[in-house]
Chain A
Amino acid sequence: MSGIYNWMYYIASGGLILIGLYIVLVKTNLIKIVIGLNFIDTGINILLICIGYVRGRTAPIFSRPGISPANVVDPVPQALVLTAIVIGVAVLALALSIVIKVYQHNKTLNVTKIKGLKW
Chain B
Amino acid sequence: MVNPSLLIAVPLAFAFSIPLFGLVSKKIGKYIPVVALLINVGISFILIPQILKKPAVVSIGGWSPPFCINLVVGPLGVFLVTLISSIGLLVAIYAISYIKEEPTEKYHMLFLLLITGATGIVLTGDIFNLFVFFEILCISSYALVAYNKDKEGTEAAMKYLIQGSVGSSFVLIGIALLYGMFGTLNMADIASRVTSADPTFLFISLAFLITGFGIEAAVFPLNAWLPDAHSSAPSSISAILSGIAIKTGVYGVARMIYTIFNADGILTFIAFLGLLTLLIGEMSAFRQNDIKRLLAYSSIGQIGLIVFALGIATSLGVFAGLFQIVSHALAKALLFLAAGYMIYRVGSKSIDSLSGLGRKMPLTSFAFTIGSFSLIGLPPFAGFISKFSIVYAAIQVKKPIFLVFVVIALIATVIEAGYFFKVVQNLYFKEGKNVDNVTETSGYIIVPMIILVISIIVIGIHPQFITGLLKGAAGELLGRTGYIGWVLGGS
Contacts and interface: CB of A to CB of B under 8 A. Distances in A.
Any A–B CB pair closer than 8 Å: yes
A51 B179 contact: yes
A105 B154 contact: yes
A17 B173 contact: yes
Nearest to B150: A105
Given A40-B166, A90-B139, A84 B154 contact: no
A98 B166 contact: no
Interface of B: 128, 132, 135, 139, 142-143, 146, 149-152, 154-159, 161-162, 165-166, 169, 172-173, 176, 179-180, 183, 185, 224, 228
B158 A99 contact: yes
A105 B151 contact: yes
Contacts of B158: 30, 95, 98-99, 102, 117
Interface residues of A, number: 34
B135 A37 contact: no
23 contacts: A33-B162, A37-B162, A37-B166, A41-B169, A44-B172, A44-B176, A48-B176, A51-B179, A77-B176, A83-B128, A87-B132, A91-B135, A91-B161, A94-B143, A95-B162, A98-B142, A98-B158, A98-B161, A105-B154, A116-B152, A116-B156, A116-B159, A117-B155
A48 B172 CA distance: 9
A5 interface: no
B132 A98 contact: no
B180 A116 contact: no
Given A44-B169, A105-B151, A95 B161 contact: yes
A45 to B, nearest CB: 9
Given A33-B162, A37-B166, A87-B135, 11 more contacts: A41-B169, A44-B173, A48-B179, A74-B183, A77-B179, A80-B128, A83-B128, A98-B142, A98-B157, A114-B155, A116-B152
Contacts of A44: 169, 172-173, 176
B165 A116 contact: no
Contacts of A40: 166, 169
B225 to A, nearest CB: 8
Listed residue (B146, B150, B176) with the most chain A CB atoms within 10 angstroms of its CB: B176
A73 interface: no
Q: Shortest 10 CB-CB distances between A and B: which pairs?
A: A116-B155, A51-B180, A101-B154, A105-B151, A40-B169, A119-B224, A48-B176, A102-B154, A98-B158, A44-B172
A19 interface: no
Listed residue (B143, B157, B165, B173) with the most chain A CB atoms within 10 angstroms of its CB: B165
A47 B156 CA distance: 31
Given A44-B172, A47-B173, A37 B165 contact: yes
Contacts of B161: 91, 94-95, 98
A2 B146 CA distance: 51
B143 to A, nearest CB: 6
Nearest to B128: A80
A17 B170 CA distance: 10
Given A17-B173, A84-B172, A102 B165 contact: no
